Amino acid sequence: MQAQTDSLPCTTSAYHIGIGPMNVLDTYLSQEKFTGTGFTFLSDTKYERPGSRWITVMQHQARFSTLHDRTDTEEELEGAYDFYVGRYYSLNVLRSTLNAQLGCMLNGGAGFIYNTSNSNNPAQARAHFNLMPSARVSYGFTLLKRPMALHYELDLPLVGIMFSPNYGQSYYEIFNRGNYDHNIVPTTFISAPSFRQQLMLNVGLSKRLTMRIGYLGDYQQAKVNNLKQHIYAHQFMIGIVRTLRVLNDK
């Protein structure tokens, strides 16, 4: 019975919530940097078949943050949603102990920044689509008679496109008057040098349930249309991981 179960396709789902410091700059709204606290939800689903080295990963990431400037006289609200889908090839470096996965992810995202003090152009919309080389490494071990695993993931946007108003251009001009001014911008790792990383520790609670704690770092930067922006997020994450076997897979 155990051998039959182990031969079934496997889905591993993880759900996390996080909190941590944020640092945001968008020169379309202000020349000031804003700092504050961000709250993140992250789900990660991994699908794999026994005997195959290929795995598929899907992630949903949503964030909301409240920010203030250095003098604490201006405030901003920031929010974002990103979807990631990736395909990886698994390398069993040390059999079941150390596993490395190399692949590529597609990422699409949208968000906003709202400056509560601006009367003219108070908000900035954000949208992007990226091709991201990606790597995941897992190291399994036992501590205090409990199975544990350390996971690290690194995602590096290589090329993509993003939406951006031009310097001095209002949203009224873009959407009401239809004045296009290089608002869909091709990006590379040079014009938008960004990366995302995760470091997570799994602590086994049962055969199918695991507790996860760790760190999510999301560092987004861009310099397009004579505008600069960055969003640096450092999040402490805690979550639950469940592993299920797919009984009726066709």
Each residue's pLDDT tens digit, 35-51: 999 999 999 999 999 88
Phi, psi values for residue 104, rounded to 5°: -145, 145
Quickly tell me which residue has 């598929």 as its tokens: 56
For residue 3, the model assigns a pLDDT of 44
Predicted pLDDT at 19: 98
How much is the pLDDT for 6? 55
User: What pLDDT does residue 26 have?
Assistant: 97
Q: Among 214, 194, 213, which Cα is nearest to 82's?
A: 194
Number of neighbours of residue 93 by Cβ within 10 angstroms: 12
* Global confidence as pTM: 0.90
C-alpha 105/C-alpha 87 separation (Å) is 7
The residue ranges of the chain whose pLDDT is under 70 are: 1-8, 95-96, 245-250
62: phi > 0 → left, psi -120 to 50 → alpha, else beta; which? beta
* Residue 145: strand pairing partners: none
Give CA–CA dist 60/65, Å, rounded: 17
Please tell me the predicted confidence (pLDDT) of residue 246.
Answer: 62
Question: Which amino acid, residue 188?
Answer: T
| Bridge partners for 112 per DSSP | 79, 125
**pLDDT reported for residue 119:** 79
> What DSSP designation does 88 have?
E
